A and B are shown apart, each in its own frame.
Chain A
Amino acid sequence: MVFVLTHWINLIAMVCLAFSGFYIHYPFFPGFMGVARGMHFFFMFVIIINLTFRVVAAFFVKTAVSLGSREVDTDIKNWLPQKANRRQLWPWIKYYLFLKKDHPLGAKYGVLQKIAYIVTFPLTFIMAYTGFAIWGPTMDWAFFTAGVSWVGGYMYMRVVHYFLMWVFIIFTAIHAYLANVEGFAPSALIFAWKESEGLHFDKEGNPMSGASH
């Protein structure tokens, strides 16, 4: 439940950051710069606090081991690679490339999905780092100037920050696509906390017959 909330906060913050970021990048209509920057500076803290909370909570809060299952485990265990994920990377790639007909078994999250989700955490923190490196109050901290001189100056730091926004946009597009392409059950869960019948394998990743238990 708590993660439905963090997901909502994340989504809103991301949309606001991307929109205000676009505007800061190029003010495509007049009269909004003060608001855009205020928005960006507010939500940048929101997203960092939210994400940090999310990571810490993952160690304490238990979540279902698979969609629709009543069996729970600490969230972090569902995140990190599990026994059930072993040797399934290639089958998942083949599945998505239409080279494999049946659905690969997995844990709660498939291998590709896990890689993508785990990468977003450092990515968001890198985003924050590059953001603070070009933010007036913090831009001259030695911690940030080291990175600035590494990428070749503040101008390039802005370019990196700008490109990372695109990485997020593309990630979000793929994420939303994959989550919904086989039906809207995951969306119902994450947005409205509506449970579904769920996936068809248990904690160990063994096939199960039909519905939740």
Chain B
Amino acid sequence: MAHEDCEVLYSQLAARGVTRRDFLRFCGSVAALLGLSETMVPRIAAAVESAALKPRVPALWINGGACTGCTESMAQLGSPDVATVVLDLLSVNYFETIMMAQGEDAEKAKADLAAAGGYVLVYEGTVMTGFDGNALRVAGKPQTEELPELCEKAAAILAVGSCAVDGGWVAARPNPAEGIGIQQFCEDHDIATPIINLPTCPVNPEWVVAMVVDVLFLGGLDEQGKVAQALVDKLDDFGRPKLIFGQTIHDNCPRRGHFENGEFVYEFGSEEEARGYCLYAVGCKGPQTFTNCPIVRWNEKATWCVEAGAPCIGCGNANPLSAGGNWVDVGAPFLNRLPDLPLSDTTTVQPAAAASVVGAVAAGALLVHGIGMKAAGRMDGGAPYEEIRESDRKKGGGR
């Protein structure tokens, strides 16, 4: 690429106080997230540089039943940062929370793009199907009315945050709004648009940036503007990028040594906590939560949950096609080892309590039975054997 071409991007970066060195370091971390070797860094840089010259890729950011936490999470990239520059290469035509346009203008921009197709649909929040879709009305209509077309015409759907993936906490019991994830919604409407699921509550902006680079700049889209098979192959059974969600928190946790040594925090405010022991006994969900939080970390790599002293509450757990598989139903109460099991919409029981009751009943029954056996004089070799089977006797056999 001609030197002048690069200048377009670098002047944009410079305007934000980002040096070339920062930019290359950024490309290195994206390469790591995408599982590419160091040698690919120049290719990523070149791809981003050339993208800066091309017309920007259209995108729609659609909010479902969301707390806008994921928007906030992206917006914390507000300090001058390479990632924001990369995201600027997307032309986000509709973004309720932060767009300038409003009212009919905004709705028209959305409708025009939906008619044209070929955009990236970023979905944040839960699809609210309850009350015939009236649980969430957008521009005077249930959102579920416009959603099929928006999903159908998109080149790819990026489900950001647990809510978009499987309903998240919004869909937790008793879920009166009948919240579901965008993948379930597409499945219900026979929509085949590829979906990339990025759970956690909120979504980690670094992953979004990495996926945008992968989809848009590194050939994730084929000639028809659809997501290439190569990209789909990089997703796991739950539609999540394997590289980001391939290992458990526990696998990479800095407190893992304490776990193996059996050094646990049993109570907050204790000496064990001060020593930074493992948080397993206070309900850490790290052993069954698949994300790379310990490596990528949060808040511009400042820290992350376990390092900051809180047990992982398993917000990266996702089960897009299973009702009740959202991370809250699966993980709450967060400080207990095992989750509450639902008996009804409003009552729950802890597994250990349920098991102890059943165990105690069984033990009691055996005891009572034993007393009966003793009373019946059967302890010593049992009662005498019948001389003939009951069924044979009834048939008139025997005596």
Q: Which residues of A approach B to under 8 Å, CB–CB?
A: 25-27, 30-36, 86-88, 90-91, 95-96, 98, 100-105, 134, 136, 140, 142, 145, 149-150, 152-159, 162-163, 166, 169-170, 173-174, 177, 181-183, 200-201, 205, 207
Known: A26-B337, A100-B390. 4 other contacts (CB 8 A): A96-B369, A152-B330, A155-B330, A183-B381
Q: Counting CB contacts under 8 A, is B17 at the interface?
A: no
Question: In the complex, what's the smallest C-beta–C-beta distance from B36 to chain A, in angstroms?
Answer: 21
Within 8 A of A (CB), among B144-195: none
User: What's the A-B contact tally at a CB cutoff of 8 Å?
Assistant: 149
* B contact residues, total (Cβ < 8 Å): 58
**Smallest beta-carbon distance A114→chain B, Å:** 16
Q: A174 to B383, Cβ gap below 8 A? A: no
Instruction: Please tell me if the beta carbons of A155 and B369 are within 8 angstroms of each other in the complex.
Output: no
A162 to B339, CA, bound (A): 12
Which residue in A88, A159, A166, A200 is a CB contact (below 8 Å) of B338?
Answer: A159
Interface locus among B59-67, B203-211, B293-301, B358-366: B358-366
CB pairs A–B below 8 angstroms (26 shown): A25-B337, A27-B264, A30-B263, A34-B261, A34-B262, A87-B390, A88-B389, A102-B384, A103-B386, A104-B390, A105-B386, A136-B251, A140-B246, A152-B319, A155-B285, A159-B338, A162-B355, A163-B355, A173-B366, A174-B362, A177-B370, A181-B378, A183-B381, A183-B382, A200-B385, A207-B385
Contact of B379 among A100, A162, A181 (CB under 8 A): A181
B281 within 8 A of A: yes
Smallest Cβ distance from B330 to chain A, in angstroms?
5
Bound form: Cα–Cα A177–B363 in Å: 10
Asked if B263 and A31 sit within 8 Å, CB to CB, the answer is: yes
The answer to whether B101 has its CB under 8 Å from any CB of chain A is no
A196 to chain B, nearest CB (A): 10
Per the bound structure, the CA–CA distance linking A182 and B370 in Å amounts to: 10
Contact of B322 among A30, A90, A153, A154 (CB under 8 A): A153
- Please name all residues of chain A whose beta carbon is closer than 8 Å to the beta carbon of B341 when the two chains form the complex: 159
Residue of B nearest to A95 (CB): B383
Known: A103-B386, A145-B237, A183-B382. A158 touches B317 (CB 8 A): no
Give Cα A152 to B359, complex, Å.
Answer: 25
**Neighbouring B residues of A177 by C-beta, 8 Å:** 366, 369-370
Are B385 and A34 neighbours in the complex by a CB distance under 8 Å?
A: no
Given contacts A159-B351, A166-B358, contact A102 B389 (CB under 8 A): no
